[in-house]
Structure 1
Amino acid sequence: MTRTAVPTRPRRRILADVTPLRSSPDFRRLWVGATISRLGQAMTALAISLQVYAITGSSFSVGLVGLFALVPLVSLGLYGGAIADTADRRTLGLYSSLGLAVLSIALAAAALLDYHRVWLLYGVVALQAACGALNGPARAAMIPRLLPAGQLPAANALNSAAMTFGMMIGPALGGLIVGWWGYQAAYLIDAVTFCASLYAMWRLPSMRPERQAGGPDDGAGDDAGEGAGEGATAGGKPRRASVIDGLRFLGTRPNIRMNFFSDLSAMVLAQPKALFPAIAVLWYGGDAKTVGLLVTAPAVGALLGGLLSGWQGRIHRQGLAILLSVAGWGLAIAAFGLTRNLWLGLFFLALAGCADSVSMVFRSTMMQAATPDDMRGRLQGVFIVVVAGGPRLGDFLAGTAADLFSPAVAITGGGLACVLVLGLLAARWRAFARYDARSPQP
């Protein structure tokens, strides 16, 4: 008696899909290099903050570190994206990574020579941010050229997990290294970690932007004030990648625009981080350790979201997924504002971090898949501005609301406002919820 073979359903993946690491050696090298270098960068960021405080004894001076990083990151983000749409992205990524490594070496040399000057640290932080504003758009625009569209959600989930891992482990490791061997050790280790990133960039093929006929860059060159360098068109004529053209493109693409609006609604309206020191004392009777737990909880949730991201590759209605995950962030933050139990509060913050990681994966995937290659750099520049500027504006708004009303009103009200604004945006641009990754439309 013969048995009839029973067809089996494909196994449902739960853990992170590592197919991009197996299928593309170039992506694998980029991912490993970025993971290692992010650890080093997080160590350096902490070491700089500790060194500034040791020199000045002022928390205000430490706070200025963030300002010196934010200004060049925001101001150069759009311009760096325009360069990435003109130049060879491999070359741009290689030289900007080399610049970051050289800056870490300079910090180590100054520390070894006992040259402790706060202005030097501020200057290096600003230059690091400038290099990052060039490196980020170039690196992100490379991913769709290395992988098929179906693997982009998995690739972005892997990148999210690696970034979160660096944010969690890097500062703790940096604190230990500074305590054992001094600032120069953390800076030197950071410089060495860039070798992996440099090697990955060096092994890549040339990656000049692929220009589409009829795109916004066709025709005569733009005004000098709008351009960001020259490249070659399909016909061999020089062209400029205009920042203004990138913004015009964004203005006529409702799905990509809604992508940014949804993120801003979360980061500006429901950003409780600035209130953690106050609520650690007022709500939980804690201290600096409690603040550390509150800061770490969203990162833990984001890391778990990345590690358990295998299901994301099966989602085609990515616009709807973004709306649901951003709404999940807002509701989790609102619930956090209502609880006075520390462990329950940490749970809601972790839930918010997990929702944010899901949103980030689909937002990045949509932007990569629905954007022409010769526009990806500029939109990644806009993405950097939104990611860097949105939370800072959210910190200001939360602090103001907490002073005018109370931390509970600021946090819970902010979370609910996020959901309300998101609903209004979704009602205004209803096609966003119907966005289908199998037929991406910007």
Structure 2
Amino acid sequence: MTVLAVGLQVYEITQSTLAVGLVGGIALVPMIVAGLWGGVLADVFDRRRVLITSATVTWAATAGLLILSAADVAVRASGGRVEVWPFYALTTVITVAGTVSGSAHMAVTPRILPPELVSRAAALSGIGAGVQLTLGPALGGVLVATVGFPITFGVDLVLFAFGFLGIFMLPRIAPEGEPRRASIRTLLDGLAFLKQAPNIRAGFVIDLIAMTFGRPYALLPAVGAVAIGGGPVTVGILTAAFAVGTFTTSLLSGPVAHVHRYGVAIGRSVMVYGACIAGFGAVLAVTLLQGGAAPAFTDVNPVALVAAAVLLVGAGASDEVSAIFRSTMLMTAVPDEMLGRMQGVFVVVVAGGPRLGDLWVGVLATSLALWFPPLAGGLLIVALVAVLLRLQPGFRGYDASDPRP
């Protein structure tokens, strides 16, 4: 809900898709550093303590967004607007803390479950993410349109507080192996391990391709304003549509326990993802050639909205299939003493790819056309993943019954 609200507020202040893309782009370098270092922290300290600390920082930064948004309301009443850079700063803090939290969170799962349940846990995480990403954007779009930005951030603050319960209920989870210090050497040891893990590397590269060239979210404020119409409500619907695909796939993911060729499953699902994103771009191209629409929801183009939502449901479903197998491969093939650092790299890829994608979308949509980034990006995904599978026979033949990094 906060991610959607920040994007909408930045667009309202600047009327620029590039400015929305910069919300993620500016946080990219700090997020990379936080992911790598967060993995080191998860391999050195009690992982429960790392989770509590990072969650506290995230909550405080979200409170800062509420204060800033309330200030914008006051300033706007007198004919002005607040500066946009504090939104970038606070979003960067949230990104950094969330990246550290993600490194520790994923390293906890294989410690509290037997190996045969890890793939089910990955699917269950998809259900949780699907609920969050379905209800959050949908509720965020409605709240922004009806009660404004400050109350939207306030609701998220209250809901976020309940998230601490899950963390506090965890036991102490100290890393296995020899005691280590949080140092550059520890980080470099983790990166050296990655050089010897071709299957893990290939999974990272495929995800980076998908998220860099197939990330449509920075487009959505403009889509709701000038293409499909409907304003914030349309933005919420389209954002939630992706999560509906994620959630539905997770609910129907029982057969993942019987799939062993993870490399093939990952590659094919990401190619389907690229096709769905390209289709979304084609819908935008056709709609804009017909003249676009107005921001009022009464002027929405219903055919375009339904088509775009269906394609994003498909994108969310295929992305979740890939995510289940990529995360399971990582949690079962990497030894525990390296798991935090590999999860740190994983979080950097998962979080960094979308921020590169935001920049890709912002620059090309501003300089060429709103529909061009998803259409061209989706086709690129299909082509690049096909080439990678061809060049990586070891990844293509990965067998879950004999997990090797």
Distance across 1 between alignment mates of 2:215 and 2:61: 32
- Residue in structure 2 matching 1:325, options 246, 254, 269: 269
Q: Kindly tell me: are residues 390 and 130 of structure 1, through their superposed partners in 2, closer, same or farther at Cα, counting changes over 3 Å?
A: closer
**Corresponding residue for 1:35?**
none
Q: Does the 8 Å CA contact 2:210/2:270 hold for their aligned counterparts?
A: yes
Is 1:197 the counterpart of 2:152? The answer is no
- Residue in structure 1 matching 2:53, options 80, 85, 95: 95
Q: Deviations over 1:327-361 (max 9, x none)?
A: 21123334444554624443333212210111011
- Residue in structure 1 matching 2:121, options 155, 159, 173: 155
- Residue in structure 1 matching 2:332, options 362, 369, 375: 369
Q: Deviations over 1:278-315 (max 9, x none)?
A: 77789x66453655554443232222212221222221
**Corresponding residue for 2:24?**
66
- Residue in structure 2 matching 1:76, options 27, 34, 38: 34
Is 1:257 the counterpart of 2:201? The answer is yes
**Corresponding residue for 1:18?**
none
TM-score normalized by structure 2? 0.78
Q: Deviations over 1:363-397 (max 9, x none)?
A: 11111111111212112221222122223323444
Is 1:246 the counterpart of 2:190? The answer is yes
Q: Does the 8 Å CA contact 2:106/2:343 hold for their aligned counterparts?
A: yes
**Segment drifting more, 385-394 vs 201-210:** 385-394
5 Å-filtered alignment, 1:293-312, equals 293-312=237-256
**Corresponding residue for 1:124?**
90
Q: Deviations over 1:235-261 (max 9, x none)?
A: xxxxx7622222221111111001111
Q: Which has the higher contact order (CA 8 A, sep 6+)?
A: 2
Distance across 1 between alignment mates of 2:315 and 2:68: 40
Is 1:438 the counterpart of 2:401? The answer is yes
**Shift of residue 139 of structure 1?**
0.8
**Corresponding residue for 1:166?**
132
Unaligned stretches of 5+ in structure 1? 1-41, 222-226, 230-239
Q: Kindly tell me: are residues 391 and 188 of structure 1, through their superposed partners in 2, closer, same or farther at Cα, counting changes over 3 Å?
A: closer
**Corresponding residue for 1:429?**
392
Distance across 2 between alignment mates of 1:376 and 1:129: 21
Distance across 2 between alignment mates of 1:64 and 1:399: 8
Q: Kindly tell me: are residues 310 and 121 of structure 1, through their superposed partners in 2, closer, same or farther at Cα, counting changes over 3 Å?
A: same
Figure out how many residues of one structure are paired with residues of the other and give that number: 376
TM-score normalized by structure 1? 0.72
Q: Does the 8 Å CA contact 1:210/1:374 hold for their aligned counterparts?
A: yes
**Shift of residue 74 of structure 1?**
2.5
Q: Kindly tell me: are residues 247 and 180 of structure 1, through their superposed partners in 2, closer, same or farther at Cα, counting changes over 3 Å?
A: same
- CA-based RMSD of the aligned residues comes to 3.6
**Shift of residue 189 of structure 1?**
4.1
Q: Secondary structure at the match of 1:206?
A: coil
**Shift of residue 96 of structure 1?**
1.6
Q: Secondary structure at the match of 2:44?
A: coil
Distance across 1 between alignment mates of 2:215 and 2:9: 28
Letter in structure 2 aligned against 1:387: V
Letter in structure 1 aligned against 2:266: I
- Residue in structure 2 matching 1:228, options 179, 182, 185: 182
5 Å-filtered alignment, 1:166-185, equals 166-174=132-140, 185=151
Distance across 2 between alignment mates of 1:126 and 1:397: 19
Q: Does the 8 Å CA contact 2:7/2:218 hold for their aligned counterparts?
A: no
Q: Kindly tell me: are residues 105 and 257 of structure 1, through their superposed partners in 2, closer, same or farther at Cα, counting changes over 3 Å?
A: same
Unaligned stretches of 5+ in structure 2? 76-81, 287-302
Q: Secondary structure at the match of 2:182?
A: coil
Q: Kindly tell me: are residues 441 and 124 of structure 1, through their superposed partners in 2, closer, same or farther at Cα, counting changes over 3 Å?
A: same
5 Å-filtered alignment, 1:272-421, equals 272-274=216-218, 286=229, 288=231, 293-338=237-282, 340=286, 342=304, 343-397=306-360, 411-421=374-384
**Corresponding residue for 1:146?**
112
| Percentage of matched positions with identical amino acids | 39
Q: Does the 8 Å CA contact 2:42/2:340 hold for their aligned counterparts?
A: yes
Q: Does the 8 Å CA contact 1:267/1:391 hold for their aligned counterparts?
A: yes
**Shift of residue 103 of structure 1?**
3.7
**Corresponding residue for 1:27?**
none
Q: Deviations over 1:205-258 (max 9, x none)?
A: 22111128xxxx9xxx8xxxxx735xxxxxxxxxx7622222221111111001
Q: Secondary structure at the match of 1:329?
A: helix
**Shift of residue 277 of structure 1?**
6.4
**Corresponding residue for 2:289?**
none
Q: Deviations over 1:126-158 (max 9, x none)?
A: 322222122111111001111112212221122
